[in-house]
Structure 1
Amino acid sequence: MIALLIVLCEVAFWVLLAAGLALRYVARKPKPGAAVLLCEPLLEVVLLVVTAIDLRNGAEPDWKHGLAAVYIGFTVALGRSTIRWVDARVAHRWFGGPPPVKPPKYGMARAAHEWRTAARWILAAAIAAGLLQAAAWYVGSGGDVSSLRMWQQKMGWVVAVNLIIAGSYTLFPKRDPGESGDRAAGREPARK
């Protein structure tokens, strides 16, 4: 039942997103469109409550309960940026909006962008790990929480990978091929 509910929440996320954007752009009703988009967090609340009830009714914690916690964490941390990303592209593509802002490609501006992206993913992993820990405490010492611990380890990997990616852009910034070596390093080129 939990796995089906996760799928339904994901489908409902995209349906609400499409409905909110349709109200905003097609019907030209931005306030009702925003109201529909604000309903997105209710999906996570429903999933959290149903998962807690399932565990309270004696269900053995398994991968589905862990996946529910991960889904909630990632939707809470990444949902807003996903909505903004889709909104900007829909507005530009079909409704004459400005082109979406592209992330910087080079140097420390790119590194800063990667750190902001990593921060969102790390927040998602932290929320998921916190929910997984709360579920483990909720089940108590009498239940098998190994599947929840497995998901927590995976969240540790998410954090590590994002730190490595963002760190690599900081330690080895990509240089603009149009700049000379001196200018890319922040030095003035030698005068002849």
Structure 2
Amino acid sequence: MLALIVACEIGFWVLLLLGLAARYLLRARKLSTVLLICVPLVDVLLLAASVLDLRGGAEAEAAHGLAAIYIGVSVAFGGQMLRWADDRFAHRFAGGPSPKRPRKTGLEHAAHERRQWLRHLLAYAVAAAVMGLFTLLVGEPTRVATMWGPMGAWGIVLIIDFLISFSYTLAPRRAKS
């Protein structure tokens, strides 16, 4: 399962780079669209493989939890990562405008940090939902405890991220003078 997670991560970036190369270097718009549509299919593949593994009687392990986390992060941040890469690729290889960077100060920075935290919360919620599905598939809560292990530590990180992200709302960073 761990090898599949690594393969999916590599597949995500390979398909993304091939799609952008087809778009900007080869000017093959249709090929680019097909390759970029395949990027989220990597998540579907990982989800299907995990479900099949668990339906086949496998014990729900930490690797299944990592697969759920991967899917959650991909759902919450995948589109943003695609746009980030597209902006940079267009700038570097197609004469596109310089990518916009988020502001580092003021209320705009605070709003950006809040939105990022909400994405983080979405990733957590999706991962928990996928783990819930896996738990239902296994049918025995005692056989899934290891899979749920990373969620506790991630929950602490989520709380810390909340405190930091929303602190900018109460005390926005000021521009250096």
TM over 0.5, shorter chain:
yes
Q: Where does structure 1 differ by over 3 angstroms across 4 or more consecutive aligned residues?
A: none
Deviation at 1:67, TM superposition (A): 0.6
CA gap of 1:94–1:153, structure 2 versus 1, over 3 A, is same
Letter aligned with residue 131 of structure 2: L
Contact in 1 for aligned 2:63/2:147 (Cα 8 Å): no
Equivalent position of 2:45 in the other structure: 46
The corresponding residue for 1:83 is: 82
- Verify: 1:10 aligned to 2:18, yes or no: no
With normalisation by structure 2, the TM-score equals 0.93
Query: Sequence identity of aligned pairs in percent?
Result: 44
In 2: Cα distance, 1:137 partner to 1:150 partner: 17
Q: Does 1:37 align with 2:40?
A: no
- Mind listing any 5+ residue stretches in structure 2 that lack a counterpart? none
Instruction: Check the 8 A contact 1:66/1:132 in 2, yes or no.
Output: yes
Tell me by how many angstroms 1:135 deviates. 1.0
Per the normalisation by structure 1, the TM-score is 0.86
1:8-66 CA deviation, whole Å, 9 max, x = no partner? 11111111011100110011123331221111111111111111111111111111111
Q: Deviations over 1:83-108 (max 9, x none)?
A: 11011111112321100011112111
Deviation at 1:136, TM superposition (A): 1.4
Q: What 5-or-longer segments of structure 1 have no aligned partner?
A: 179-192
Give the aligned length. 177
The structure, 1 or 2, with the larger RCO (C-alpha pairs under 8 Å, 6+ apart) is: 2
Aligned to 1:56: 55
Query: Could you tell me which residue of structure 2 aligns to residue 71 of structure 1?
Result: 70
Instruction: Tell me the SS of whatever aligns to 1:38.
Output: helix
Aligned to 1:182: none
Between the aligned partners of 2:111 and 2:138, the Cα distance in structure 1 is 40
Q: What is the match of residue 175 of structure 1?
A: 174
Which structure would you say has the larger Rg? 1
Task: Please name the residue that 1:149 is paired with.
Answer: 148
How far, CA to CA, are the matches of 2:53 and 2:142 in structure 1?
14
* Rounded Cα–Cα distance in structure 1 between residues aligned with 2:133 and 2:112: 32
Structure 1 or 2: more helix by fraction: 2
